[in-house]
Amino acid sequence: MMPAADNWRQPDRRFVVTGSARPRDIRDLMGRPFFALGHMARLEPLRYRSRQMEIVVEASAPLGMATIRDADVLLWLTGQIVDALNHDLWVSRHVRFTPWRLFQDLGWSDGTHQYRRLYGALARLAETRVTTSLRQGPEWREKPFAWISDVRISREDGVTLTLPDWLMEMACDRSHVLSVDPAYFRLYGGLERWLYRLARRHAGRQKDGWRFNLRDLHARSGTLSPWRNFVIDVAGIARRQIVPGYDCKVIYGGKQPVLRISPTVLPTGSVDNRVNPAVGQDADHTIAHGAEIPLLTVQKTSQCVVFKSGISPVTYITNIITYYVGDSGLSVPLPAARSGHREKAREAVADRMVGVP
C-alpha cells in the first residue's frame, strides 16, 4: 500500500474536507515574495532573485495578483492536509470543501461579504502565475503553475479545486510545515502579516530571535512601497508591537537599520505536537547587506487563463466519500456552476480517526 504521505499522487482520488483543522504554513512560502502585500489590485509582475533562488509572479487584469490575505485559503488547506496525514488518512491535490467550514476555522463571519471575499480570493489564486527555481530543478522556467486550478463553485458541492504538485509535495512533508498563531488571521495589513510569517520561519521559538537588514527585507517583501516608506511602516509596526508572539525592534546606528525579532509568549492557540515546528538552520540565518538582489520589474501583457477539469470517476477520501464528476470547463473569473452538471453522489461519512485501506 502506498504510504500516506505519497498517496496524494494517485490521480483518481479527491480529498473532501469535512472536519475542523488548524491552519498551517509552508516554510518555503514564508518571508519570501510570493504574494502581493497591498489591498489594491497589483498588475505589475513581481521579480525577485537571491543567491539561493529566483521567483517570478505574474497576474492577469483586472483581478490582479493573489494577495497575502488570499493565501489564508492555502494555509487552511495545508492544515487540512496535515491533519488528515496525522490521522493516517488519504489526501489528494483535488480538494472539495464547503465555504462554511473555512469560515469557521479562519474566523470569518458567515455572511455575504465573506462569500465575496472567498470568491475574489479563489479567482486571484487561480489567475496568478508562479515560476520559481525553488525545488523545481534546472528546468524550472518551463514549470510555471497557478496556486489553484480547475476551480468550480456550486450550491450542491461547495468549492472544488486542484492544488499544484509543487505545493502538495511540501504540504505532505511535515518537516516543511509550521503551525500558525490564530491571531495571525486577525492582522489586517499585508506587511504585518508578512513580518509574522518571516518571524515564524526564522525566529521561531528561539530565545535569541533573529536580526534582519531592513534594506534586504525591502527587496525580500516584494513591496511596491519606496524604501523610505517601508522603513517608516516597519518602525510603526515595531512600535505598536502587533506581530503576535514576537517582539520587534528597529535598531539604527549602523550602515543600514536592522530589525530584531524575538519570541515573547507562547502561541495563542494549541499546536498539534505531531507536526515538527522546529526552524532549521540555513543560509538565511544571517541576512546581511547585499544578500538579496532584486531584479528589474517588467510589465507584461496580461492574458486570460482557462482551466479545464478532467477528473473522471474519483474517490473522495477523508471521512469517506465516493463521488462521480463529469467533465466540465471553467473560465476565470469564476462563475457559479449550473445545477444540471450530471453529477451523482453517494456519501458515507466515517469517523475521522479511521484509516483508509
Q: What confidence tens digit (pLDDT) does each residue in 200-249 have?
A: 998 877 777 889 999 999 999 999 999 999 999 999 999 999 999 999 99
Alpha-carbon gap, residue 20 to 28, rounded angstroms: 24
> pLDDT value at position 157?
85
User: Facing residues of 277 across strands?
Assistant: none
Phi–psi pair at 247, nearest 5 degrees: -100, 125
Q: What is the 3-state secondary structure (H, E, C) of 46-107?
A: EEEEECCCEEEEECCCCCCCCECCCCHHHHHHHHHHHHHHHCCCCCCCEEEECHHHHHHHHC
Name the residue with higher pLDDT: 146 or 290: 146
Given a contact cutoff of 8 angstroms between Cβ atoms, the answer to whether 352 and 21 are in contact is: no
Question: Which amino acid, 21?
Answer: A
pLDDT digits (tens, 9 = 90+) for 14-54: 788 888 889 999 998 998 899 999 989 999 999 998 888 89
pLDDT digits (tens, 9 = 90+) for 167-198: 998 898 888 899 999 999 999 999 999 999 99
Residue extents of the structural domains in the chain: 4-187+290-347
pLDDT at 345 over 90: no
User: Facing residues of 97 across strands?
Assistant: 159
3-class state of residue 260 by DSSP: strand
Given a contact cutoff of 8 angstroms between Cβ atoms, the answer to whether 85 and 5 are in contact is: yes
Phi–psi pair at 15, nearest 5 degrees: -90, 115
pLDDT digits (tens, 9 = 90+) for 62-75: 889 999 999 999 99
Q: What is the pLDDT confidence band of residue 323, given thresholds at 50, 70 and 90?
A: very low
Highest mean pLDDT, choosing among 3-12, 333-342, 345-354: 3-12
Distances (CA, A) of 36 to 41, 80, 85, 194: 9, 24, 30, 10
Name the residue with higher pLDDT: 11 or 202: 202
pLDDT digits (tens, 9 = 90+) for 244-282: 999 999 999 878 899 999 998 655 544 443 333 333 223
